[in-house]
């Protein structure tokens, strides 16, 4: 009978017992957003529900929430009755409000609270009982959801894309999805097509390994305290077959160089991949192998053209392994030190 009762709740949406509102909890526990941690609270339940809805059907699935804070999005997740919910929160001040939610939902939800830094958290440890799913079959029933701190959002995303490309971490279980908030400008960069003013390294890296979609924009005034920018909600689903077999680190390195000088010819950025003594010859050879116009600007390059440059660089590194670890910026620092 108890199992049937839980199933009934799962179908209709779980009802939490009467609880103070998030706004009341923030007042009760005197929770102040810390600017240095890029904290902004989302109090509007309609918006937290909309974020969770963007993740798709999470009922009976596995959910990892990043930076739950006082638990606004957490409540919306709980109401959709996932099989297991893991929340990772660095700030200990929020533990009492999260423990309140865990206690209130214990009859129908397995919720685990991790007090730690998401940058150090190993996502493959979150769901040890989740079976592995065929990468080329249905998506894994695993979702990462979070209102990310602006200060670490890009770094986190690059880390997760790397794990996605290697099929490790949360992606060792299959094609797990991401539903995340970003500063509006960053969200637009993630999905930016060729010729867009926002096109950058982040655009290319996402489009090589995933399908990213900007779902909707949340006005800054919806957050407490109000940030200076609006916020975009983005969903990211891994591609069954990525657009390249070149290692993530190589593609990321080349893309970073391509977009390092946006308004200059892409040749300028690519040239910095090579030491001065071989720079001219190898740069010319890179564009010849890639069949890409060296006088194009970075935002004019398609994802496929960026990949052809990365593949050409990868070929040349195999022939000239001495250039692999060349670091243009380190070389500049060394030169300055020698001058002084």
b/e for 180-219, b at 16 or more Cβ within 10 A? bbbbbebbbbbbbebeeebbbbbbbbbbbbbebebeeebe
Q: Which residue has the higher pLDDT, 65 or 13?
A: 65
Instruction: State percent of the chain over pLDDT 90.
Output: 79
Start-end of H helices in the chain:
2-12, 22-28, 45-54, 72-79, 95-104, 150-166, 184-191, 201-209, 248-258, 266-271, 279-290, 303-319, 328-339
Structure tokens that stand for 242 in this block = 């990525």
Start-end of H helices in 105-167:
150-166
Confidence of residue 35 (pLDDT cuts 50, 70, 90): low
Number of C-beta neighbours around residue 11 at 10 A: 9
Residue 48, judged by CB atoms within 10 A of its CB (0-12, 13-18, 19+), counts as buried
Beta bridge partners of 179: 145, 235
Whole-number pLDDT of residue 5: 37
What residues have CB less than 8 Å from 91, skipping those under 6 apart?
34, 37, 39, 69
Q: What is the mean pLDDT of the chain?
A: 90
Residue 140's nearest CA partner among 39, 64, 247 is: 64
Confidence of residue 33 (pLDDT cuts 50, 70, 90): low
> Is 91 in contact with 115 (CB distance < 8 Å)?
no
3-state secondary structure of 225: coil
Q: Is the pTM of this model over 0.85?
A: yes
Query: pLDDT digit string (tens) for 151-196?
Result: 899 999 999 999 999 999 999 999 999 999 999 999 999 999 999 9
Whole-number pLDDT of residue 288: 98
Whole-number pLDDT of residue 276: 96
Confidence of residue 336 (pLDDT cuts 50, 70, 90): very low
Q: Does position 14 have pLDDT exceeding 90, yes or no? A: no
What average pLDDT does the segment 327-331 reach?
A: 80
Whole-number pLDDT of residue 278: 97
> Is 25 in contact with 95 (CB distance < 8 Å)?
no
What is the spatial distance between Cα 49 and Cα 152, in angstroms, rounded to a whole number?
Answer: 24
What residues have CB less than 8 Å from 336, skipping those under 6 apart?
none
Is residue 241 within a helix (H) or strand (E), and if so which, with residue range? none
Q: CA-based angle 147:150:153, to the nearest 5?
A: 75
Q: Does position 334 have pLDDT exceeding 70, yes or no? A: no
List, in order of start, the domains of the chain with CATH numbers.
Answer: 2-238 (3.40.50.150), 248-339 (1.10.8.100)
Cis amide leading into 225 (omega within 30): yes
Query: pLDDT digit string (tens) for 251-277?
Result: 999 999 999 988 899 999 999 999 999
What is the spatial distance between Cα 312 and Cα 273, in angstroms, rounded to a whole number?
Answer: 12
Whole-number pLDDT of residue 34: 61
Confidence of residue 64 (pLDDT cuts 50, 70, 90): very high
Query: pLDDT digit string (tens) for 296-328?
Result: 999 999 999 999 999 999 999 999 999 999 998
Whole-number pLDDT of residue 18: 74
Q: Which residue has the higher pLDDT, 333 or 124?
A: 124
Q: Does position 41 have pLDDT exceeding 60, yes or no? A: yes
> Is 25 in contact with 56 (CB distance < 8 Å)?
no
Q: Does position 136 have pLDDT exceeding 60, yes or no? A: yes
Q: Does position 31 have pLDDT exceeding 90, yes or no? A: no
Q: Lowest mean pLDDT of 30-44, 50-64, 153-167, 265-279, name the range.
A: 30-44
What is the spatial distance between Cα 90 and Cα 37, in angstroms, rounded to a whole number?
Answer: 10
What average pLDDT does the segment 30-36 reach?
A: 61
Confidence of residue 227 (pLDDT cuts 50, 70, 90): confident
């Amino acid at each position: 009978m108890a199992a049937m009762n839980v199933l009934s709740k799962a179908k209709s949406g779980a009802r939490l017992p009467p609880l103070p509102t998030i706004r009341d909890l923030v007042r009760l526990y005197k929770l102040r957003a810390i600017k240095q941690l890029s904290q902004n609270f989302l109090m509007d339940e309609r918006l937290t529900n909309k974020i969770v809805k963007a993740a798709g059907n999470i009922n009976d699935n596995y959910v990892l929430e990043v930076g739950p804070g006082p638990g606004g999005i957490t409540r919306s997740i709980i109401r959709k009755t996932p099989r297991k919910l893991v929340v990772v929160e660095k700030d200990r001040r929020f533990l009492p409000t999260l423990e309140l939610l865990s206690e209130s939902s214990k009859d129908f939800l397995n919720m685990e609270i991790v007090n730690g830094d998401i940058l150090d958290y190993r996502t493959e440890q979150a769901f040890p009982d989740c079976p592995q799913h065929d990468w080329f079959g249905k998506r894994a029933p695993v979702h990462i959801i979070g209102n990310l701190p602006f200060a670490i959002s890009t770094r986190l995303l690059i880390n997760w894309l790397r794990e996605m490309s290697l099929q490790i971490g949360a992606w060792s279980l299959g094609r797990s999805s991401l539903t995340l908030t970003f500063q509006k400008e960053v969200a637009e960069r993630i999905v930016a097509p060729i010729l867009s003013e926002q096109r950058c390294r982040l655009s290319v890296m996402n489009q090589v390994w995933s399908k990213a979609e900007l779902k909707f924009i949340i006005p800054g005034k919806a957050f407490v305290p109000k940030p200076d920018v609006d916020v975009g909600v983005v969903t990211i689903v891994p591609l069954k077959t990525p657009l390249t077999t070149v290692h993530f680190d190589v593609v990321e390195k080349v893309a970073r160089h391509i977009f390092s000088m946006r308004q200059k010819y892409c040749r300028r950025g690519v040239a910095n991949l090579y030491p001065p003594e071989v720079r001219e010859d190898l740069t010319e050879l890179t564009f010849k192998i890639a069949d890409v116009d060296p006088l194009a600007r970075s935002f004019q390059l398609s994802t496929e053209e960026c990949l052809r440059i990365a593949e050409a660089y990868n070929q040349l590194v195999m022939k000239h392994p001495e250039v692999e670890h060349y670091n243009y910026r380190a070389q500049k620092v060394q030169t300055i030190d020698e001058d002084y």
